[in-house]
Structure 1
Amino acid sequence: MPEYISIHVGHAGSMIGNACWELCCLEHGIQADGTLLYSMPGDKSVSFIESANGQHTARAVFVGPKSYVADKVRTSTYHQLFHPEMIIKGSEDNGKTYAMGRYGQNSKVIEKVLERIRIQAENCNSLQGFLVFNSLGGGSSSGFTSLLMEHLTADYHSTPKVHFSILPTEDYLNMHNPYNAILATHATMELSDLVFLFDNEALNKLCQRNMKLTLDGDLNRLISRIVSSITGSLRFGGFPTVSLTDLVTNLVPSPRFHFSMASYAPAVDPQMARPFPFSVDQITRSCFEPGNQMLNVNPFNGRYLSCCLLYGGNVMLKDVDATIATIKAQRTAQIGSWSPVLNVSINNMSLVVRGGNPAYTERALCLLSNNTAVKDAWNRLSDSFEALYSRRAFFHWYQRLGMQEQDFDNAIDNIKDLCQEYEKAEFNI
């Protein structure tokens, strides 16, 4: 089976990584110390390197701009899963800007990071791709990730690079975060193959409404369910198997339209999971609802360019076909006429985890979609960017590291052009 390497950048990337590897261990019966507790179906080698003495090590690299990020990984419950050399501490700085991560002291650790990634890649028999986790609003995270992507693209040009990125929102906004997000997105526009966008506002609303939870750890566990669903068919043999290359092919109709959304159903607490069986029809319709989106946009305000439905658990193909036929007939979702099919994969073995939140259910669905409504998120961010840039607020923080007004102008123009392209696609469908 082909393997994938996870790269966790910054505080957000590292915390999401902890949740993802916790879930992965539970699914494969691996204890926190890396030893096998019980044998589970599936191929652990997709995610883990197993030593001769049965110790499992994650195929992961952690990069923290500050010591406390690396220290949190080293002292986490699952710290024995990660090889100490794969946890890399950047320099101490308080810049919190894209420029600091891209051009400042943290940029000096890039060679060490690339060396660790090379070691992980050499331990793979057939490298499937890279999963990159970061926050677009974070300073060092956004800037360093753009620098890293330049090198990854040069060294692994044909290997898919899939991002899981947190967009800044008003409730979780430092004043210069719009700068960081727009600059980072502009820099990686031609380098990323597929980007799944999340924001804390949408995740928080979903947790509060469905599970009555508000902790950041629970938000991260929601994202971990998406990651688990994406890699599930590789690890447990879904039908058909969905590789990272397949995801890029199915979800990205044109290179610039590589920004996708995710939803998951049922996301409920354990008390609600027991009395309701949640049919295939219920979970499928729920995933198309605005309230289950993990990005704060309304999919009904746009059109679906492509969709990929990843089912897990006790799911029959005939039930899926019947549900999709009904959705198309009733026009429940705004699906473009030039997107004739909804790509479907069924993984009967992935939902093996009981306990925790979201609750274990007999069946579940992860919907990955490319919807033109994503332009609403970029438009909001562009408005925040321009409100700051019109006054040149905080601009000197970036200028002192060599960035010029032209860099800012090019970045915001690129994002505005992207939004216009989405609008044209929406009306031409």
Structure 2
Amino acid sequence: MSDARITFDTSESGAWGTSESTPMANMTENLNLQRALLRYMSHSPTVRLLDRVKVVSIDREDKEGGLGWPLVHLSNGTTLRTRLLVGADGFNSPVRSYAGISSYGWAYDTQAIVATLNHPERSQFELPNNTAYQRFLPTGPIAFLPLSPTTSSLVWSTKPRLASTLTKADPAVLASMINAAFRLPEVSVRYLHESILDAHDADKPLSHSQIMEEIAWRERSHDISRHSAYNSTSSVVSERGVPPDDSGSLPPLVTSIQPSTIASFPLRYNHTDSYIGEGAGSRTVLIGDAAHTVHPLAGQGLNLGLADVEALARCISSTVMQGGDIGSYTALLPYARERYFENHKVMSAVDKLHKLYSSTAEPVVWARSVGVEVLNELDSVKAALMMNAGAYGRKRNLGSGWDVIASGFSLATGVVNATKIIGGGMTGLLGVGLQSLSKTLNQTNSK
């Protein structure tokens, strides 16, 4: 709802002594990860892979004088008796239910749309397709994530009714709406959303030509030049010619969507009270989505899960080397101590970010816009965030990035809440907030 923008460039990571060629992150399709893991396990004699079976139930063996080990009953009639049961089984985790571990959280009023997008290759006058783009709309953020020179991944968080309508529409309509969502002013994006919903409710869905005609009219009304990258319907710029000056500010134009890649799922915040089972649920431990789920706007869900796996593997290895019991509570405690607060810190920052950008109140829009513009000038802080958001930062133990952003969003949320009560005292509150945030940043830079 404003022109505020923040850019993360890997060349700025030099503030942390890294090479300019070090990427902030790597994008790959899930199929590649699965294939690599299966190939690795096929060459590991210590790993036994059971597939084409389901977990029917989990219970505990009867053992006189104490609690027995967990028993996992499979659909092929096999029963696994395990010293340690690891729950890596997603949000609706049967392992978590068996262990009796409670959780807290809430459902967001948003639904995620995901798809794989096709687009032209960048011209020789442009940078390669290695930049991720994200725009924050009041209905939720839309993200464009590069996969290859001609394909990218979409993660669009929006209202459930709109998500349902768009996923059922002609894929060409969805492709045009994606282009418009990154380019048109928010007022026109909102009008397009309302038009699609009204047409769907009347059982007269808009065709691709109708959507394109409406987008073209909107571009003319906003005086968007045919020579601008913000024009998605009547651009006179050749795909292989000299690009407009603002081409780097936007993702490539989506031309089509790969078949069978459009999907949608609800979003929620959820965190378990513990990662380790006790009592009747002992000898269990949770990792990944079984322990925590977070809004995808920062792309940290998988990263948090992988960090869980790494920490748990170290914990188990250390226990084995010392001759301990890997299923005991004391052996698993270091894992929980290492990961619980780190995960909670990232999850809280992302949740605050989502709530902050969901507001359309003018004082809030102004405050967050100023905050984004100020943060965009703080290269060392942006470097800390880049290093911590990707895998490289964990190798170097750069953990201050999320501390800073969590602190900043706590202050911003306080400003938001205060404006609801005071209204006119915005400037003074923001001044205090920025002073406090500046103090936090200075303390972080001095560490």
The TM-score, its normalising length taken from structure 2, stands at 0.25
- Structure number with greater CO (CA < 8 Å, separation at least 6) is 2
The TM-score, its normalising length taken from structure 1, stands at 0.25
Question: Between Structure 1 and Structure 2, whose CA radius of gyration is higher?
Answer: 2
